[in-house]
Structure 1
Amino acid sequence: MLKAVILIGGPQKGTRFRPLSFEVPKPLFPVAGVAMIQHHIEACAKVPNMKEILLIGFYQPNEELTRFLMNAQQEFKISIRYLQEYSALGTGGGIYHFRDQIVSGNPEAFFVMNADVSSAFPLTEMLSFQKEHGEPNSFVLLATTVSSVLHYVEKPSTFVSDIINCGIYLLNQDIFQHIGAVFQKNQQEMSLEEPTNGWHRAEAIRLEQDIFTALAGQAKLYVYKTLSFWSQIKSAGSAIYASRLYLSQYHKTHPERLASDKEGGPRISGNVYIHPTAVIDPTATLGPNVSIGTGVTIGAGVRVRESIILHGANLQDHCCVLNSIVGWDSTIGKWARVEGTPSDPNPNDPFAKIDSETLFREGKLTPSITILGCNVTIPSEVIILNSIVLPHKDLNRSFKNQIIL
């Protein structure tokens, strides 16, 4: 019997995901048409003998999260529960705090996954790898090879790896002994400093730094290197890259989610997701790598590429949206242009890396992906370039390289 834990964080985390996280908890933000963590849940539900999925975080349970969990439980026919932390406890502290819930039923092993990663989630491969290579009480960390320079060392005296942690782990109940030892050590140290706050600070434990570093020296931690796609979703702009990866994977996993050219429908170029409730003029052109949400209206002659259009947005006739995220219930006027500028040499390659983070250029803060928050109105015939617009703004002119508060 297996279980899975998805670490979803809380509202104090994910500040780089603003302004989108103002409207929806980051784990529920739609990526390639479905909530970010639904991709995790779908992958877990396919694993044989998976009995329960636990979400751990410190979001207050709200109607949106509760509704999502109920729907997911019905769709995937698996127990899915949310366990709320009293504070941010870290990747190790969260699972240690709820260890009784995790070990209930005596699972042979359990996965731990960070919510803010996009991946093909090779979970069954990790299980096979553990059985073939690992000791009975070993742990497996999913890793991938980086393609860019993260750290440069001239003539290193020790080996410098090009492998990075993907934030997806296969653990067993023995991990709690290792976390417990760190907790006891922290508690002893903290109690001398702040007796009243010692428990809280002692329980804030990081799997990666506080646990895995020591385990690596004990030959109990194995690395399974994946060749399939992986990316973090840290900033709002990086959701566009994650959406591109999932849309590409849909050819194998969910071909029914991909739109195609049909008589009387819009022109589709490349991988595009369109929610059935969207109303799109047949003269519009969408793609590649576009996701259209619920209740979206797209007018005549509209062009959308490399973008996410969220619930209720209205793209009026002949407007153009490139490399952008259009927020919920936002309106883009006729002949307007909303555009970001990713450093992406080949948009037809789903694995070409997008420069999705905020950049400093010539001493100025310059977003590379344009993001419109909720209920933003862009007038007709204006241009919004490389800008972030906070919610509920009614713009009256063009902007370039701005954060509009």
Structure 2
Amino acid sequence: MLKAVILIGGPLKGTRFRPLSLDIPKPLFPVAGLPVIQHHIEACAAIKELKEILIIGFYPVTQLQQFVNDMQLQYNVTIKYLQEFTALGTAGGLYHFRDQIRSGSPEAFFVLNGDVCADFPLRELYKAHKERSDGLLTVMTTEATRLQSLNFGCMVVDKGTQEITHYVEKPSSYVSTLINCGIYVFSLKIFNIIGEAFNTKQDEFYKNGSNNVNRDTGYLQLEQDILTPLAGSGKMFALQTRNWWSQLKTASSAIYANRHYLELYKERHPERLATEKKSEKCSITPDVHIDNTAVIHPTAVIGPNVSVGTGVRIGAGVRIRESIILDAAIIEDRSLILHSIIGRNSHIGKWARVEGTPSDPDPNKPFAKMENPRLFNNDGRLNPSITILGCSVSVPSETILLNSIVLPNKELSRSIKNEIIL
């Protein structure tokens, strides 16, 4: 029997994802028509030995309970949401809920970071872990460029045994181009190691008393507090993947993840993709996902790489590509949407143009696919990026929005370029 744990953090995290996370928890943001962590759940449920999925975070239960109930019914697997009383860190959350994870004595359990988007090779990861009887955990890794690697956990791996001999989280100088994907499989004995780290932190706190800078003794980070000291012990191994992988840190990365999940649908879930023959709604350039409740004029042209949510209304002659249109948005006649995310209940007037200028990575460079461009340049100017409209934004007819971010509940009166409208 296997289990899986999905770590989703809480509302104080994911600030770079705003304004999209202001009206919905980031783990429930729809990418390719499904909430982000539903892709995790779907990958876990595909493993027949996996009997339970635990979601750990500090979002209020009310924000996730309906989603959890729906997922249990859809995938016929036990799913529970375990709410932390405060942010405990990636290892602190695992240790706090260790009894729930160990219940039923699973042979091993997966841990997936909730902000990861990937073609999850979970079965291959478990197979690699099972082959090493002395291993406590196996980490999924991928290749980065030297510059990109500085933003991730880097590791040195023995080419023969695949043992991780050195690990540094976000190093200040180059260590390795192999980086941590935030996807793991653990043996239950890992709780002995986490427990030792927890007790050490407790001892330091009581030894130093009020002079201790870090008073939060329950906060443990998996990367710094567990992986770094465990490297070189012969207990931690790596499995390198060449599958697609990225992180959902910024809104710009949602467009990239949307594109790749749609591409995966072609092989695994073609029923989720819209075609001209199937939709009879409009002209479609693959790959496109359109919710069945969307109302689209036959003269509209949608795609490639577009997701359209529930209750969306799209008028005559509208052109949309490389974008995500969220629930109940209205796009009136002859408007153009390029490289943008249109928030829930937003309204785009006639002949409007909403456009972003993404800095698409070079696909020939290693790991360029995972880039999350910064919001601002070094000189303080807004980076060329996708255009993002929060929920309930109104854009008047015949206006242009270029490389801009608009917070929720704004009614624009003019064209904007390279601005953040607060």
* TM-score range for the pair, normalised by the shorter chain length: over 0.9
Equivalent residue in structure 1 for 2:347, among 322, 326, 331: 331
Q: Contact 1:241–1:356 (CA<8 Å) still a contact in 2?
A: no
Amino acid of the residue matched to residue 94 of structure 2? I
User: Alignment partner for residue 161 of structure 1, among 143, 151, 176?
Assistant: 176
Whole-angstrom distance in 1 between the partners of 2:149 and 2:13: 26
Q: In the alignment, is the contact (CA less than 8 A) between 1:366 and 1:402 conserved in 2?
A: no
The match for 2:243 among 220, 223, 228 is 228
Change (3 A) 1:179 1:258: same
Answering whether residue 196 of structure 2 is matched by residue 181 of structure 1, we say yes
* Structure 1 residues 3 and 365: alpha-carbon distance in aligned structure 2, compared to 1, 3 A threshold: same
Residue by residue over 1:280-301, the C-alpha shift from the partner in whole angstroms, topping out at 9 and shown as x without a partner, is 1111111111000000000001
Correspondence list, 1:288-303, <5 A: 288-303=304-319
What amino acid maps onto 2:375 in structure 1?
A: T
Residue 10 of structure 1 pairs with residue 26 of structure 2: no
Give the C-alpha shift of residue 195 in structure 1: 6.4
Are positions 1:267 and 2:283 aligned together? yes
Candidates 386, 392, 401, aligned match of 1:375: 392
Return closer, same or farther for 1:377/1:196 CA change in 2, 3 Å cut-off: same
Q: Which residue of 2 aligns with 1:135?
A: 133
Return the offset for 1:88: 0.6
CA distance 1:149–1:137, change in 2 (3 Å): closer
Deviation at 1:135, TM superposition (A): 2.8
* Partner Cα separation in structure 2 for residue 307 and residue 346 of structure 1: 20
Matched residue SS, 2:391? coil
Counterpart for residue 51 of structure 1 = 51
Q: Choose which of 146, 163, 170 in structure 1 pairs with 2:185.
A: 170
Runs of 4+ in structure 1 over 6 Å off? 195-200
Please, which moves more after superposition, 392-401 or 186-195? 186-195
- The answer for the alignment partner of 2:299 in structure 1 is 283
Q: Distance in 2 between matches of 1:379 and 1:346?
A: 36
Would you say the 8 A contact 1:96–1:176 is kept in 2?
Answer: yes
Q: Which whole-Å CA distance do the structure 2 matches of 1:172 and 1:352 have between them?
A: 32
For residue 243 of structure 1, the aligned residue among 258, 280, 293 is 258
What is residue 161 of structure 2 aligned with on the other side? none
Q: Distance in 1 between matches of 2:93 and 2:149?
A: 30
Counterpart amino acid of 1:220?
Answer: K
Counterparts in 2 of 1:51 and 1:281: CA distance versus 1, 3 Å:
same
Give unmatched runs, 5+ long, in structure 1: 153-157
Distance 1:194 1:277, change over 3 A: farther
Cross-structure match for 1:341: 357
Question: Which letter does structure 2 place at the counterpart of 1:293?
Answer: G
Name the structure 1 match of 2:40: 40
Q: 1:338 to 1:346 in 2, by over 3 A?
A: farther
The number of residue pairs the alignment matches comes to: 395
Secondary structure class of the residue paired with 2:377: strand
Task: Indicate yes or no: 2:377 matched with 1:360.
Answer: yes
Q: 1:144 to 1:352 in 2, by over 3 A?
A: closer
Q: Which residue of 1 aligns with 2:272?
A: 257
Q: Match for residue 101 of structure 1?
A: 100
Distance (Å, rounded) in 1 between the aligned partners of 2:245 and 2:381: 30
Amino acid at match of 1:149: L
Aligned partners of 2:285 and 2:303 also within 8 Å: yes
- Report the residue type matching 1:235 in the other structure: T
The one of 302, 313, 318 aligned to 2:334 = 318
Q: CA separation in 1, counterparts of 2:308 and 2:71?
A: 21
The Cα of 1:129 is off from its aligned counterpart by 1.2
Give the CA deviation at 1:130: 1.5
CA distance in 1: counterparts of 2:329 and 2:294, whole angstroms: 10
Assess, with a 3 A threshold, how the Cα gap between structure 1 residues 298 and 356 changes in structure 2: closer, same or farther.
Answer: farther
Comparing 143-152 with 47-56, greater Cα deviation is found at 143-152
Question: One-letter code of the match for 1:13?
Answer: K
- Contact preservation (8 Å) 2:135, 2:234: no
**How many Å separate the matches in 1 of 2:375 and 2:292?**
33
Q: 1:69 to 1:355 in 2, by over 3 A?
A: closer
Structure 2 residue runs of 5 or longer lacking an equivalent are 151-155, 157-173
The secondary structure found in structure 2 opposite 1:52 is strand
Contact 2:149–2:176 (CA under 8 A) maintained in structure 1 = no
Identity of aligned residues (%): 56
TM-score, normalisation: structure 2: 0.89
Q: CA deviation at 1:346?
A: 8.0
Check conservation: 2:357, 2:403, Cα contact below 8 A.
Answer: yes
The 2-side partners of 1:24 and 1:283 are apart by 32
1:207 deviates by 0.8
CA gap 1:147/1:278 in 2 versus in 1, 3 angstroms? farther
Task: Find 1:146's aligned residue among 144, 156, 159.
Answer: 144
Q: Following superposition of structure 1 onto structure 2, how do residues 47-86 of structure 1 map, counting pairs within 5 Å? A: 47-62=47-62, 64-86=63-85
Name the Cα RMSD after superposition. Answer: 2.2
Question: Do the aligned partners of residues 228 and 15 (structure 1) sit closer, same or farther apart at CA in structure 2, a change above 3 Å counting?
Answer: same
State the shift of 1:160 in Å: 3.9
Residues 207-226 of structure 1 aligned to structure 2 (within 5 Å): 207-226=222-241
Distance 2:362 2:210 in 1: 57
Q: Counterpart amino acid of 2:133?
A: E
2:388 and 2:219 mapped to 1: Cα distance?
34
Q: Which range is displaced more, 134-143 or 98-107? A: 134-143
| Partners of 1:42 and 1:225 in 2: CA distance | 22
Distance 1:70 1:371 in 2: 30
Cα distance, 1:180–1:256 mapped onto 2, change above 3 Å:
same
Measured against aligned partners, the alpha-carbon deviations of 1:307-356 in whole angstroms (never above 9, x if no partner) come to 00000000000100000000000001100000110012789xxx974764
